[in-house]
Amino acid sequence: MKNNRFVAAVLIPSFLFLFVFVVFPVVYGLGISFYEYNPANSQNPFTGLENYRRLLQDEVFWLSVKNTILFCVIAVTGNIVVTLFLAEIISILPSKWMKTMFRTILFIPCIAPMVGTSMVWKYGIFGTDGGLLNRIAGIFGFAPKNWFLTTWPMFILIIVYTLWADIGYNVVLFTAGLEGVPKEFDEAAAIDGAGPVRRFLWIKLPLIGRTFAFVAIMTMANYFQMFAQFRVFVANGGRNYSAMVLTNYVYKMSFDSFDMGYASAVAAALFVLVFIVAMIQNKMMRSDWSYE
């Protein structure tokens, strides 16, 4: 009886917290999507599925879906490739202090506010006048360029920034996974004549299958929700909406157009998209490898 009371005392506040700050906002937001909702209006008429019908005819929405998926595919793939490479390099370093130093250096951008670092990159690196990127281009004889008026180059630059800002987390996770692989397997493969690349691809990578699956799913879900850098770099979605993603479109509809009912419908579509992708990834990346 005492144990039940203790469990209830611990869990009830947690459940209340989840309900107030997670469940209720999600349900409330979904409910708003069925209304022509504007907090400044005294009347917010019920429109049923009209906002969802509007989604099907909205070219900017579908362009945002395409950009979001493209961003996630390129950025997540780049993130995993780069972090796996860096984690493997760190894991074979001879001393512990060197491993700690490199992990710390790579993790520093992760703890910096993304809005702040985005501003630094926007004006210090991508800036038309005095930006580092244009200065480097000037060394090779190219004229300064306004990157914010470009289409795919700006999109690629946002991906580069995202990788710089976010690789630290996955480097730490992959490093921990690689260091957990028994050294006997790697040593046995080396004795059999396998080179470092083959040992990594055929020995280490399969044995960190669970870590790989976790990183891939969580990174994909996180990148679908990326917002700060897009809002800072291209608040209006860039030239011809070439860098408009769903999170930025939700913000634009909510706080620029004050069409929160439609913005909630876009957010619901984003939720469904993330859920479907996560389920597909989870099914594809189920790993049963074990070295016990």
116: left (phi over 0), alpha (psi -120 to 50) or beta: alpha
The pLDDT value recorded for residue 165 is 94
Task: Please report, for residues 114, 226, 250, 269, the alpha-carbon distance to residue 29 in angstroms, rounded to integers and kept in the order given.
Answer: 26, 19, 12, 12
Count CA atoms closer than 13 A to 276's CA, side-chain side. Answer: 7
Q: Measured between alpha carbons, how far is 71 from 73 in angstroms, rounded to an integer? A: 6
The pLDDT value recorded for residue 206 is 86
| Structural tokens at position 185 | 């397997």
The whole-chain average pLDDT of the chain stands at 88
The pLDDT value recorded for residue 286 is 65
The pLDDT value recorded for residue 289 is 45
pLDDT, average across residues 170-190: 86
Q: What are the tens digits of pLDDT across the range 42-76?
A: 788 888 899 999 999 999 999 999 999 999 999 99
CATH number of 59-284: 1.10.3720.10
Asked if residue 85 lies in contact with residue 171, where contact means CB atoms within 8 angstroms, the answer is no
Handedness of CA 79, 85, 88, 92 (dihedral sign): negative
pLDDT, average across residues 69-95: 93
Domain positions in the chain are 59-284
The pLDDT value recorded for residue 61 is 95
Q: What is the pTM of this model?
A: 0.87
Helices (H) and strands (E) in the chain, counts: 15, 0
DSSP code, position 180: T
If we measure between CA atoms, which residue out of 160, 166, 178 comes closest to residue 90?
178
